[in-house]
Amino acid sequence: MVRDFTSESLSHDPIHGYIPFTSRSGLPSDEVSEQELIDHPWVQRMRHIHQLQTAWWVFP
């Protein structure tokens, strides 16, 4: 089923360009938006994890 979402945000990625994701407004109350998943503390804790942590110390 296709729905029209009234609120959409954009995130810029250097490789893929702009990536759209749905925001909370415009969704029924029983559904979870993509922005809520991105803003969840379990996902946000990965913000400070780097694949090459020792290289990050040398080349911040």
Domain membership flag for residue 3: no
Give the per-residue pLDDT at 18: 93
pLDDT value of residue 21: 86
Is residue 44 domain-resident? yes
pLDDT for residue 24: 74
In order along its 60 residues, the chain shows pLDDT tens digits of: 566 556 888 889 888 999 988 887 767 777 788 888 888 888 888 777 777 777 767 765
pLDDT score of 17: 92
For 13, counting Cβ atoms within 10 Å of its Cβ (0-12 exposed, 13-18 middle, 19+ buried), the class is exposed
Report the number of distinct structural domains present in the chain: 1
In a domain, 1, yes or no: no
State the pLDDT at residue 36: 85
* Domain span holding position 13: 8-58
